[in-house]
Every structure is written in C-alpha cells, then in structure tokens.
Amino acid sequence: MSQILHIFRKDVRHHWPEILLSLALLIAYAVEQPRTWTGQPIENRFLSFLLGFLPALMVLSWGFLIVRVVQGETLVGDRQFWVTRPYEWPKLLLAKLLFIFLFFHLALFIMQLSLLKVARFPVMSSIPGLLYIHSLLAATLVLATLALACISSGIGQASLSLLVVFLSIIGIAFLSDLFPDSDITNNVGAIDALLIMTVCIAVVLVQYKYRKALLSRLIVGAAIVLILLVMVLAPYEKLIRHEFPSATSSHPVPVKFTFDHSLSFAHGEKPKFNPFGDEVDLEFPFQITGLSDETIFQIRAMKLDLDLPTGEPWTSHWRGFYDSVSAGRTREWTHISMKKAFFNRIKDASVKAHISLALNVFRTGPATEIVVAGDRVSIPGGAWCLNDSSENVLKCFSALKQPSPMFIVADLPNSSCALSRTSTVQKFAAAPASFAVLSKDSDPDSTFSPIQQFTIALSRHYSFEDLQIPLPICVGTRLVVSQPRFLYAVRDEIDLGNIALMNYLPTYPRLIIPPQQPLQPGTPTDSLSQNFVPATPPSGPALTCTFARDGARVSGRLAGVARRAFARRRKRVRIRGRMWDGSWNGS
C-alpha cells in the first residue's frame, strides 16, 4: 500500500497543472449549468461560443490528464527508468487507477451532487443512478483512454493513435449507413461494446505485465477488423424478426391496419417536389381500427418490399420510425425513403407492395390529473416543468433521466386556451391532444450533468391525421398523465396490392385527394385550428361596400382586402397593388 501511495503522491506533484486545468473546466461547467436551465442569454458571443464547447473541452482535459499520468511510467520500449526501481506492476497500475478515481470520478461525482442540490432534487436517492453513470464512464471513456495511453510512448504518439481511432469510428459509421437494419436491433451493438471493453482490458494488462507494445497494437487492429466483420456478416433480418416476432394469440397486433386506397396526393400539371437531397420520402395511409382505450403502441420500424414489373424484388430494409399511436386515432401515415434515381424509374409503374411494421406495445397505467397553475408544474416521476407559453411547450427538468415511458393527454384547444388567429383553418381529428415518450430503457442517461432537460409539447392531428400542430398550454389546462408499461414487441405484415408509387409522393403545397370538406360558418370552436367562430355580423341595417378604380370594381363580398377595409370603414385601400376608392350603401 505504501508503494501505491508513493507513486500517487509523485504523480500529483508532477501533474498538478493538468489537474488544475481539468478541475477549472469542471467548475466552469458546474457554474454554467444553472444558467442553461433558465435559458438566460450571454451577450458576449465569443464567451457563449466557448461555453458551448465546455463538455468537449472537459473530455479532452480528462483524456490528456489520463495519458500524461500513465505515460509518467511509459510502457512502450525497453529503456524505461521505472523498471529498474522496485515497482510491482499491479501496484503501479493501482496507483494510476487511484489517481484517475480521485481526479476524474470523485471530482465529477461531487459536482453532480452539487447540481442536484442546487436544482432541489433528492440527492441520496440519486446516488445509485450516479454510480451507474460512473460505471459506464469507466467502461468507455476511462478504459479506452487508458488503453490508448498504454500503447503510445508520448503525447505525439497518443494524438496520432487517437486520430487513427477517430478515423476508424468515422469509417464504421459510414459503413453502418450501408446496413440500415443495424439501427433497429441492439444485439450487434452490445456485441461490439463487449468486444471493445474486452480488448481494452487485455491491452492494459498485457502492457503493464509484459510491455509488449507490438502485441497490444495487433490486438487493437484485430478488434477493429472483428467489429467490421460483425457489422458486415450479422444476420440483421433474423435478429429483427426474433426481437419483433409474428403475432400470436397471447401477443396480438394491437390494431387492424388497412391500407387506404382512397387517399393519394394530388400532383396537377406542374407538381412541385422537394428538390433537396438524393432521396424522396413516400407516405402511405393506413386506416386503424380496434385499438383499446388502455393500449398505446409505438411503430419502431418499417420495411417496404416491392415486386417490380421486371420481376426483380426490391427492399428498403428496416428503417427506424418512432411514432406513437393512442386511442382515438383512426389513421396512420408511414414514411419510407427511396433513392430519387430508382423512384423516377418506377414511379408510374404498377408494383406489388408489401409493408412490414415492428411495434412496441404498451398498456397505460393509472392516470394522474394535473392542473397547470402558474408558470411551474410538477409531473409524476419526480420532474418539474416551466410553462413557456411563447413556444407552446413545457420546459422540464428531472434527475438523471427523463421520466419514460410517459403519456399525456389534454382537451386542447378549448375556449379558454385557443390558438392564434393566424393559424391555418383545418378540421381536427377526433383524437385529443397528446404527448408520448415510449421507451423500454429505464437506465439513467450517461451524461456529465445529472439534470436532464426535456420539453413536453402537446400536439393534435388534423383531420387526415397526416400532420399535427403544437398547441399552447395555458394556465388552468388539465393534463392527464400516465406512465405506460411495456407489454411486448410484435411484427405485422401488410399487403398493399398493386400501387403506383407516384400517388404517395407528397407535393408542395401539400394536397390530399379527395380533399376534406370545407368548414361551414358556425362550426364548433373545438373543430377549428384557429379555435374561433367567424365574426357575427353587426346588428342593424346591413352594409355593403364596393371599391372601384378606372371602371373596374371589386366587391366587398369577394375580396379579402376589401372585407378588412369594410370592417374598418376605410374609404381608400390598396388592392392588387393599386389604390381604390370605396363607398358604403345601407340596405
């Protein structure tokens, strides 16, 4: 033990500048956090820009500190001075780990406890979650940096090794785009994480015991090759089908999906499409029936398979698709992207289509009714929110993790909490305004700050349920909050029959056929996105107005500008770029 403390004291004396730098950045981060909670701006642009990079600077300072302290007794080469001293490699390694524990883990842990205290969240009950976060940091950031320091002889080599690792990560991320199915299943990621952790531990032990740098570097290279092989050879389709099995009597599909052949997008003579990117986004409408009031499900992923006129098959592969469907919904639009070049080749042809949906099914638990009173509200799960009416959201804070799963519904808009009059006039669907976060993961988020910030935005679908609009949350609004429980995962297979893909490419402006019926005067206020009834004509004799110029006339009943001028009793108004003279007649 005395040898461990001797090495530790020597490292503190030699590396106090690096220690002070890392602690200074940590303190600056802690002081900065309360300002981010309130959203107070910083007038100095350079300072604001610099504070945005504080987390990255902290990571760099910790990495630099770990590399410097490990290389105080370098493990590369055969001319190290320390091997002539009576050092035992296990004690040398323990001294380095003690240094990392005190000046990284303990310093960060104290800062996190302080932030929890400042934000008035429970401290003692958060300690298990903080320990879990630090175990993840030790298994990722600390272990990887430690292994990197062990196979490099100086800061220059460590920087070069870091560059190689960074480029390898970029290459792996680029290759993952070629395998879109890899984003759906977590099994391959777990294998990669276990492989990386095992390799890092092996490199550290080999270096401290044998100091075989070439062998350690070969182990790292072999690990990178293995990760690439796992990515390329993994049976993603089988893994996804295992994770999302076919429906059974005990685990049925929660709703009946029926492809709605009656709806499509109108294109006209000169349709306008999204000109950006090399992909098009197709949308397919489904009618949904049979969803119980206690069930809510998430469409986790979807896949489109086509039988082309040439007889060739085509698949989009599984694509992530996070969309929640709750009681009251009658229609769902699924999205899939496709290369423009391929789409233009088959867009007007009749193709046989098949869609696969991967679903996570939840059951809503007991509900709690909360009334928004003032600018602050507490929600189940230990979170509290600030009501930011200017942005139609609740800005919320929680300790360690956002409460999830969580489902909120509200009767919005209503007479006391209306949308602005500048909103588009469209009918709303029958489903109430809602907000849903459906996740099976209950572990704390592995971030440096223990205070998690998130927003709650209630939105409601329009009549076709293809688009939705965020709604204001006013004082007095009643929120019904429940915490759903995950039940099971299931897969649904739907045959669309023969379709023309061109019919499901949205245009700009967006127009669905057949169009919805126009709103009639006197429509109830809760059916309007503007949430207001057309103005009642004034009592007494009716007035009509006519605006004229150079023999041309614009009736007040037909021109919007003339109507507004009529309401304000103006005698001159600009219509169609010209000044017009008006007159009023009573009848």
The reply to whether 393 and 496 lie within a common domain is no
Q: How far is CA 276 from CA 114, 340, 478, in A?
A: 47, 10, 42
Q: How far is CA 446 from CA 107, 131, 135, 443, 450, in A?
A: 16, 10, 9, 9, 9
The reply to whether 159 and 96 lie within a common domain is yes
- The answer to whether position 61 is within a domain reads yes
The reply to whether 213 and 261 lie within a common domain is no
- The answer to whether position 251 is within a domain reads no
C-alpha–C-alpha distance, residues 3 and 85, integer Å: 11
DSSP-derived secondary structure for 406-469: EEEEE--SBTTBPPPTTS---BBPSSPEEEEE--S--SPP--S-SEEEEEE--EEEBTTSS-EE
pLDDT value of residue 514 = 80
The domain that contains 330 carries what CATH number?
Answer: 2.60.40
- The answer to whether position 248 is within a domain reads no
Q: What share of the chain is helix, strand, coil (3-state, %, to 5)?
A: 40, 25, 35
> Is residue 472 reached through a cis peptide bond, with omega within 30 degrees of 0 on the bond before it?
no
- The answer to whether position 533 is within a domain reads no
pLDDT value of residue 574 = 53
Write out pLDDT tens, residues 67-103.
999 998 888 876 677 777 778 889 999 999 999 999 9
Cα 309 to the chain's mean position, in Å? 38
The reply to whether 35 and 169 lie within a common domain is yes
- More reliable by pLDDT, 314 or 514: 314
The reply to whether 42 and 124 lie within a common domain is yes
The reply to whether 210 and 100 lie within a common domain is yes
Write out pLDDT tens, residues 432-454.
999 999 887 778 888 899 999 99
pLDDT band at 421 (very low <50, low <70, confident <90, very high): low
The reply to whether 437 and 451 lie within a common domain is yes
- More reliable by pLDDT, 587 or 111: 111
Who's near 103: CB < 8 A, 6+ residues apart? 19, 22, 23, 65
Q: How many domains does one find in the chain? A: 4
Question: Exposed, middle or buried, 117 (CB in 10 Å: 0-12/13-18/19+)?
Answer: exposed
Question: Exposed, middle or buried, 22 (CB in 10 Å: 0-12/13-18/19+)?
Answer: buried
The reply to whether 199 and 156 lie within a common domain is yes
Answer for the pair 512, 466: CB distance below 8 angstroms, yes or no.
yes
Q: Which of 517, 545, 522, 524 is nearest to 535 (CA)?
A: 522
Mean per-residue pLDDT, 164-182: 76
Answer for the pair 302, 321: CB distance below 8 angstroms, yes or no.
yes
The reply to whether 438 and 347 lie within a common domain is no
Task: Please check the confidence at residue 544 and state whether its pLDDT lies above 50.
Answer: no
Q: In the block, which residue shows the tokens 């109108």?
A: 266
Task: Please check the confidence at residue 562 and state whether its pLDDT lies above 60.
Answer: no
Return the CA Rg of the chain: 31
The reply to whether 89 and 74 lie within a common domain is yes
C-alpha–C-alpha distance, residues 102 and 405, integer Å: 36
pLDDT value of residue 552 = 45
pLDDT value of residue 107 = 96
Task: Please check the confidence at residue 527 and state whether its pLDDT lies above 70.
Answer: no
Q: By percentage, how much of the chain surpasses pLDDT 70?
A: 84
Answer for the pair 213, 207: CB distance below 8 angstroms, yes or no.
yes
The reply to whether 37 and 68 lie within a common domain is yes
Which of 206, 235, 264 delimits the end of a domain? 235
- More reliable by pLDDT, 253 or 82: 253
Mean per-residue pLDDT, 296-300: 94
Locate 74 and state its tokens. Answer: 């370098």
- The answer to whether position 568 is within a domain reads yes
Task: Please check the confidence at residue 567 and state whether its pLDDT lies above 80.
Answer: no
Write out pLDDT tens, residues 384-401.
988 876 678 889 999 999
pLDDT value of residue 559 = 44
Q: Which of 53, 59, 54, 76 is nearest to 158 (CA)?
A: 76
Task: Please check the confidence at residue 174 and state whether its pLDDT lies above 80.
Answer: no
- The answer to whether position 511 is within a domain reads no
User: 264-265 and 319-325 as β-strands: parallel, antiparallel, unpaired?
Assistant: unpaired
Least confident of 378-387, 452-461, 502-511, 546-555: 546-555
Who's near 32: CB < 8 A, 6+ residues apart? 51, 54
C-alpha–C-alpha distance, residues 193 and 143, integer Å: 12
- Give the DSSP H/E element, type plus range, for residue 493: strand 485-500
Q: Which of 289, 282, 264 is nearest to 335 (CA)?
A: 282
Average pLDDT, the chain: 83
C-alpha–C-alpha distance, residues 432 and 409, integer Å: 7
C-alpha–C-alpha distance, residues 60 and 255, integer Å: 50
pLDDT band at 12 (very low <50, low <70, confident <90, very high): very high
- The answer to whether position 296 is within a domain reads yes
Locate 433 and state its tokens. Answer: 């305004």
Task: Please check the confidence at residue 511 and state whether its pLDDT lies above 80.
Answer: yes
pLDDT value of residue 584 = 46
- How many Cβ atoms from other residues are within 10 Å of residue 379's Cβ? 20
- Per DSSP, 519 falls in state P
pLDDT value of residue 583 = 54
Q: Which domain holds residue 329?
A: 256-364+492-505
- The answer to whether position 191 is within a domain reads yes
DSSP-derived secondary structure for 235-289: -HHHHHHHHSPBP-SSS--SSEEEE-TT-EE---SS-----SSSEEEEEEEEEEE
The reply to whether 110 and 21 lie within a common domain is yes
Helix, strand, or coil (residue 305):
strand
pLDDT value of residue 32 = 92
Mean per-residue pLDDT, 471-498: 92
Mean per-residue pLDDT, 552-574: 46
